[in-house]
Amino acid sequence: MNQQTANRLPPLLVLGTERALPDLLINWLDREAEESEITMRTGMLDAFLPVPSGHMAIVVAPHRDPGLRDRVQELSLHIPTLIIGRPEERAYYPDACTWLDEHQMSPQALRHGLHDLFACVQGQLRPLLPRHTWIRQFRARTECEDGLFIQLVSCRWRPAAAGDSAELRLATQQSFEHQLRAQAPDDALLGKLLDDQFVVISRDAEALSKKWMKSFEDDINYLWTAFLSGPAPISNYDDLGGALQKCVRQVERIRMLQSGLGSRALSTTESLVVHDLIRAMRSKEFYLEFQPQFDTHTGRMTGAEALLRWLHPNLGVVPPTTFIRDAEMAGLIRTLGTWAMRETLQAWHRLSEQGVTLRMSVNVSFPEVADPDYAEKVLSLLEEYRVPARCLELELTETAMMLDASVSLYNLQTLKQAGVHIVLDDFGTGFSSLSHLSDLPITGIKLDRAFVTPLSGSDESLPQLHIVSAMLDLARRLGLETTAEGVEDQRCLDVINSLGCDRVQGYFYAQPMSMDKLVERASVHEAVLCDYSGQQSLF
């Protein structure tokens, strides 16, 4: 670093939290600071609170101490900060200017981190703000500035990265974010909506309309591809939702045209599977089974989940877990999903002719809900089959909701508003379920059977008991309906009932069954009758 640059740098604070500062860091920084003539002070974080402005900081993050964590976060919001910590703690510091993994600290990594910190201070590396902070600053900026443009940047990991280790994915993401921060226009306000979706506000329409974030489509050394929407004028906070929606559609279109499986050659095994799936669709080898769901308060059957089956000519009945991923990868899941939806809506009619009105649940995969026309398609199917929206429930996993979030969330919001039930499936298995619960357009959660089935154990101190109890409590507070799947015996049912879950599904009550069996079972079971016109909604 040359002297002129160093002279412009503010004093550097090197702070420890509950742990002593590593000698490596202190010794190395001493030398480095002397060389570049930076004023440096070391000490414990508490001695420097409240945060002195006009500084930059390097902090060794605390382990598992929420109080200290908050203070470090506070610091990183106020002054440019390089945080050194354990990888699992990283998510707690969205405002860190730059981050270093403490296990990988070496003079080289430190130099790199310091370089980023300086770049950040000098405005060469713009901060990447978490969603809420970005929205707040966006609002403030549109209130005092005209002539702003918005742009969406979507990042796709290369298939090689997607299949690789968590470390590689994290490194890929970090290098993408670094490029984004380094290359965005000078006045850009950068926000991170999701791990792979970013938003930019700038006055510089010309810079935004160039492909400033490279795709590296032909360079296999880069593990990502970037997709940019065109810059769209935006003048206030109220336009944000609509503008983002337009940008997302644009990016989706570009993505479909430029990349994806369409342009990637399939492996021999993949081709065989795809070939087999296409043949199976043509020769109608797929069928649905339905597994009833019961209301714990009344004991009545109130719904049924449609589960896909494949009657393979050589292999017999193939369970969905073995082919759903392949169908997704092969781009066939939308066709299969639409087919399953039609079958399910037809099934609803057969039941309704018997005087039985159930809420039918359909599993939905990520590529389906990421289709910009998904909501429209479902609504028109409901109309075509004359099924009330409240009699349809979509089961989605957290990943399906969060990937390509703007499109999928828009679709789900639209459907929820129309009255369709939206349930977060496999609840408890996603790593960030709790933090997203209040943001997602859902009406209920479905506890994963990994938590439910073990409740039949007699041990009162079972960890699953506490987990399920806490999850149900949280859902209740958020006004969400709860369903437990995987109820296999009386004991499990008793525990679930005592914890106050709304609905149950599982082998104890019923296995997945054919449509005919469901009709029979529903009629015998005095299924809940409700007025077709929707006046007597139980839901």
Give contact residues for ligand C2E (rule: CB under 6 A). Answer: 291, 307-308, 319-321, 324, 337, 340, 363-365, 395, 425-426, 449, 453, 485-488, 505-507, 512
Cβ-contact 303, 293 below 8 angstroms: yes
Binding mask 328-367 for Ca ion (x = CB under 5 A): -----------------------------------x----
Residue closer to ligand C2E by CB (options 304, 356) is 304
Q: Looking only at residues 375 through 414 of this chain, which bind Ca ion when binding is defined by CB under 5 A?
A: 395
Q: How far is the CB of 444 from Ca ion (least distance, A)?
A: 12
Give the residue nearest to Ca ion (CB): 395
Query: CB of 509: closest distance to ligand C2E in angstroms?
Result: 8
> How many Cβ atoms are within 10 Å of 107's Cβ, its own excluded?
13
Q: Which is nearer to Ca ion, 81 or 363 (CB)?
A: 363
Q: Which is nearer to Ca ion, 94 or 320 (CB)?
A: 320
Cα–Cα distance measured from residue 477 to residue 493, given in angstroms and rounded to the nearest whole number: 22
DSSP 50: S
Q: Which two tokens stand for residue 318?
A: 């193939």
| Type of residue at 447 | L
CB atoms within 10 A of CB 106: 11
Q: Give the Cβ contact number of residue 34 at 10 Å.
A: 10
By CB under 5 A, the count of residues binding Ca ion is: 5
Does residue 371 interact with Ca ion by CB under 5 A?
Answer: no
Residue 481 contact, options Ca ion, ligand C2E, none, Cβ 5-8 Å cut-off depending on partner type: none
- Cα(482)–Cα(425) distance, integer angstroms: 11
Q: Is 368 in the site for Ca ion (CB under 5 A)?
A: no
We find the least distance from the C-beta atom of residue 485 to ligand C2E, in angstroms, to be 6
Query: Which of Ca ion, ligand C2E, none has residue 365 at its interface (CB below 5 to 8 Å by kind)?
Result: ligand C2E
**175: its two tokens:** 């290098």
Q: Does 425 bind Ca ion (CB under 5 A)?
A: yes
Give 513's DSSP letter.
Answer: B
d(CA 146, CA 188): 14
User: What does 2 bind: ligand C2E, Ca ion, none (CB cut-off 5 to 8 Å by kind)?
Assistant: none
Closer CB to ligand C2E, residue 190 or residue 307? 307
- DSSP single-letter state for residue 371: S
Closer residue to ligand C2E in complex, CB, 42/338: 338
Q: Does 293 bind Ca ion (CB under 5 A)?
A: no
Spatial CB neighbours of 355, under 8 Å, sequence gap ≥ 6: 523, 529
| Residues 426-485 contacting Ca ion, CB under 5 A | 426, 448
When asked if residue 289 is in the footprint of Ca ion (CB under 5 A), the reply is no
Encoded amino acid at 459, one letter: D
Do 341 and 381 form a contact (C-beta atoms < 8 A)?
Answer: yes
CB nearest ligand C2E: which residue? 506
**Tokens, residue 356:** 């039985």
CB-nearer residue toward ligand C2E: 240 or 450: 450
**331: alpha, beta or left? (left if phi > 0; alpha if psi -120 to 50):** left
| Residue nearer to ligand C2E on the CB measure, 344 or 406 | 344
Cα separation, 209 vs 231, in Å, equals 6
Query: Judged by CB, which is closer to ligand C2E: 81, or 291?
Result: 291
CA angle, 130 then 135 then 136, to 5°:
105
State the residues that interact with Ca ion by CB under 5 A.
363, 395, 425-426, 448
